[in-house]
């Protein structure tokens, strides 16, 4: 039994989690990045460990202590994250894409620092990054693998979330409402978890560990029968 009599319902399972935010270099000192702290992904790792899982944590630019017992793999860019994920997803029972993956990267990275010329900077040309969640959902590292995405939405959060769930093809999509000091870099998180079967589970504002446990509560019944 893990934690206060809760069952170790992820015992014998391998879960792969991405956390943080990727950085796409412009030159040796500059990058395109985002505000993800990695706290939600690290909370997912800590709670999965407490529920008995073997945890692989692909961590992009996170300044947090590594969860004891997890295999932590540091990555920088979206393409590094994709490679680290695909190298580990083959035997994962569940993959949770909590990382904020940069949608675009500079077409080229300057080898030297770009200097001021007094004539204004040259535009930074961008190209789209690979969509890791889309690929994971389509390919599934193993039969019955549960794939979970995260989305931060504004405006019509539910409609945007439903459309994204369908487009991505994942089993669960954790939709955060963002803006006004919510979600990014804060302790608390408020979300609705949409499932491919049409269900929606609201999770009230609370610590990121609580949202993480609610996500695992929804993952566990969807897992393929355990290997014997
Ligand atoms: N994601 C990914 N690879 C990318 C972009 C996003 O795997 N290149 C994953 C994220 O980790 C997250 C989910 O997809 O789990 C949703 O990310 P989000 O940015 O909300 O979706 P996008 O498809 O990038 O759409 P948008 O244009 O709204 O940013
Ligand atoms: Ca995006």
Q: Helices H, strands E: what count in the chain?
A: 5, 12
Ligand 1 atom 16 nearest Cα? 151
Query: Could you tell me the pTM of the whole model?
Result: 0.94
Please enumerate in sequence order all residues whose Cβ is within 8 A of that of 21, keeping only pairs 6 or more positions apart, or say none: 33, 34, 35, 36, 38, 60, 61, 99, 100, 101, 102
Task: Indicate whether this complex's ipTM tops 0.95.
Answer: yes
Query: What is the number of the ligand 1 atom nearest to the C-alpha of 150?
Result: 15
Each residue's pLDDT expressed in tens, for the chain with a length of 228 residues: 445 666 799 999 999 999 999 999 999 999 999 999 999 999 999 999 999 999 999 999 999 999 999 999 999 999 999 999 999 999 999 999 999 999 999 999 999 999 999 999 899 999 999 999 999 999 999 999 999 999 989 889 999 999 999 999 999 999 988 765 555 556 556 799 999 999 999 999 899 999 999 999 999 999 999 876
Relative to the alpha carbon of 101, which ligand is closest? 1
- Which residues lie closer than 8 Å to 154 by C-beta, 6 or more apart? 160, 177, 178, 179
Binding-site annotation, residues for CTP: 103, 113, 130-133, 150, 164, 168
CA distance 164 to 125: 26
Atom of ligand 1 nearest to the CA of 99: 11
Closest CA to 96 of 59, 63, 52, 143: 59
129 lines ligand 1 (CB under 6 A): yes
């Amino acid at each position: 039994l893990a934690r206060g009599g809760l069952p170790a319902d992820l015992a014998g399972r391998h879960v792969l989690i991405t956390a943080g935010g990727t950085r796409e270099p412009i030159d040796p000192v500059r990058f395109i990045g985002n505000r993800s702290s990695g706290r939600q992904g690290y909370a997912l790792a800590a709670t999965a460990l407490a529920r008995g899982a073997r945890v692989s944590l692909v961590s992009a630019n996170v300044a947090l202590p590594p969860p004891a017992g997890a295999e932590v793999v540091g990555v920088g860019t979206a393409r590094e994250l994709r490679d680290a994920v695909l190298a580990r997803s083959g035997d994962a029972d569940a993959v949770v894409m909590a990382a904020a993956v940069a949608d675009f990267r500079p077409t080229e990275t300057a080898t030297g620092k770009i200097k001021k010329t007094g004539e204004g900077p040259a535009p930074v040309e961008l190209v789209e990054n690979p969509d890791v969640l889309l690929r994971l959902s389509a390919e599934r590292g193993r039969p019955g693998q549960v794939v979970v995405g995260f989305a931060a939405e504004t405006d019509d959060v539910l409609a945007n979330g439903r459309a994204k769930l369908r487009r991505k093809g994942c089993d669960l999509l954790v939709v955060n409402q963002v803006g006004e000091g919510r979600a990014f870099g804060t302790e608390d998180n408020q979300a609705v978890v949409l499932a491919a079967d049409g269900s929606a589970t609201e999770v009230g504002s609370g610590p990121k560990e609580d949202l993480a446990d609610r996500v695992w509560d929804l993952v566990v019944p969807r897992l393929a029968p355990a290997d014997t």
